[in-house]
Amino acid sequence: MQEKYIDETKQGEAFAIAEKDGNSKKLFLESYGCQMNFSDSEIVASILNEQGYNTTLKVEEADLILLNTCSIREKAEQTVRMRLAQFKNLKKERPSMTVGVLGCMAERLKTKFLEEEQLVDLVVGPDAYRDLPNLLKETEDGRDAINVILSKEETYADINPVRLGGNGVTAFVTITRGCDNMCTFCVVPFTRGRERSRDPHSILDECKNLWESGYKEITLLGQNVDSYLWYGGGPKKDFAKASEMQKATAVSFVQLLDLVAKAIPEMRIRFSTSNPQDMSLDVFRMIAKHDNICNYVHLPVQSGSNKMLEAMNRQHTREEYLELIRKAKEIVPDISFSQDMIIGFCNETEEDHQDTLSLMREVEFDYGYMFSYSERPGTPAHKKMEDNIPADVKQRRLAEVIALQGELSRKRMEGYVGRVHEVLIEGISRKNKNQWKGRNSQNAVCVFDMQEGQKMGDIVNVFVFNNTQGTLLGETVKN
């Protein structure tokens, strides 16, 4: 079921893969935060698998504990700190155990973790995972180890990530790393560095390998996929300095979508996350061109108020966003959208809040991820703006936004009732072991009774006869 907001107190997720013969050490790897972090964890597991580590779900038997962390909100960091405190106690019982922090918190809080709080032995930033074998040797020699250097080149294009957990049906394929958008509330440019794109040939190879391994759906992943631009390597900001040949042979996101859709015509394709300022109508035309590109876009707006958008340094206005949505629906009439929304940003007035509610009503998002503003140290907003909206006002406004999205989600789900949908079977329903769950092209979750001969990974025609706020209820259409 699609969440209407994210539970920030939720524990991280640990995954394990099949053991590799000959590996004698145990790795416990827990991921927090965005899809990029979970994708990065697969890269880390792949690197360490070659260094003698098998994954485990039992933290007490681990030789190496790694937390892949998120810095996007304060609660996410608090959750990780509490988790590290648990590991510190465990380490007293097993002094040989190594504990490390990966990802965005590693870059942001490196000194605190290693020197002030002495919670960990190892701190590794998002661009330094290749250095893990060397860093682990340093910890074995009794030294703390750190590498949080941000790269302008690293994309891990040559590493074939193992697939942690998952359903064997859907997978993430990272196409960009970093972000050049300096939204005032966001810490990502400082923890993940400059935006750079991955070689399209390596992306195609990974997608083809996934298809050959039985996967039926991929999500092309990046902080900002729409600005994907490959011209031979290097940051996107340096494209202006590229040679004429590099510019002439450069590959844009629209071109990449076309390449992947043509190369694997039966593979379902999604992408995330998009940015309104970089999203072109050509992307929607490409969705309309290829049946295997899903009719769904996650398009964060953050606020419905132009004053707030300017304060956030979002490079789009309310009017531009609504016009983009309007034109997209003309090109792909059956398209669905989801949103990110920040409530209670600095100086937000009641009028700004009402602007957000009215934008939501106009767009009619299928679902969304909504949060009250959480000040992040080091961001422009933290340095230059006062977090001056009282907590009770933030919570009241957030509750109103969540309640409205609930109404809109139910209305959108009702719009799918009485129709036949192609649904990819991704697993068994949590509430009924005799039912499948899957998603239609618009990313709406559907549950339906199992039929003889059906299996995971099948795409089946399902007639939807009813709905809840976040789920479609259906039955298989007999051939």
* C-alpha 270, offset from chain centre: 12
Q: Give the tokens for residue 316.
A: 């789009």
Query: 104 among the known binding-site residues?
Result: yes
| CB-CB neighbours of 466 under 10 Å | 12
Rg (CA), the chain: 23
Q: Is 294 annotated as a binding residue?
A: no
| CA–CA distances in Å: residue 384 to residues 4, 210, 380 | 31, 46, 6
Match 């009215």 to its residue by tokens. 358
Nearest to 49 by CA among 25, 13, 31, 69: 25
* Cis before 56 (ω within 30): no
- The verdict on whether residue 183 carries a ligand-binding annotation is yes
CA–CA dist 280, 330 (Å, integer) = 14
Please give the sequence-ordered ranges of beta strands (E in DSSP) within 235-311, or none if there are none: 251-252, 268-272, 296-298
Pairwise CA distance, residues 417 & 463, whole Å: 8
Pairing of strands 296-298, 336-343: parallel
Contacts 24+ apart (CB under 8 A), 304-308: 304/352, 304/355, 304/356, 304/357, 304/358, 304/359, 304/360, 305/348, 305/351, 305/352, 305/353, 305/355, 305/356, 306/355, 307/347, 307/349, 307/352, 308/345, 308/348, 308/352, 308/355, 308/356
Amino acid in position 216: K
The whole-angstrom distance between residue 476's C-alpha and the CA centroid of its chain comes to 31
Distance CA 181, CA 278 (A): 10
- Residue 208 vs residues 220, 259, 261: alpha-carbon distances, Å: 13, 12, 11
CA-CA distance, 110 to 119, in Å (whole number)? 11
User: Six-digit token pair at 341?
Assistant: 């929304």
Q: Which two tokens stand for residue 331?
A: 């090109």
Determine whether the annotation assigns residue 34 to a binding site.
yes
List Cβ neighbours of 150 (8 Å cut-off, separation of 6 or more).
Answer: 107, 125, 126, 127, 178, 192, 193, 194
Binding residues for [4Fe-4S] cluster are: 34, 70, 104, 179, 183, 186
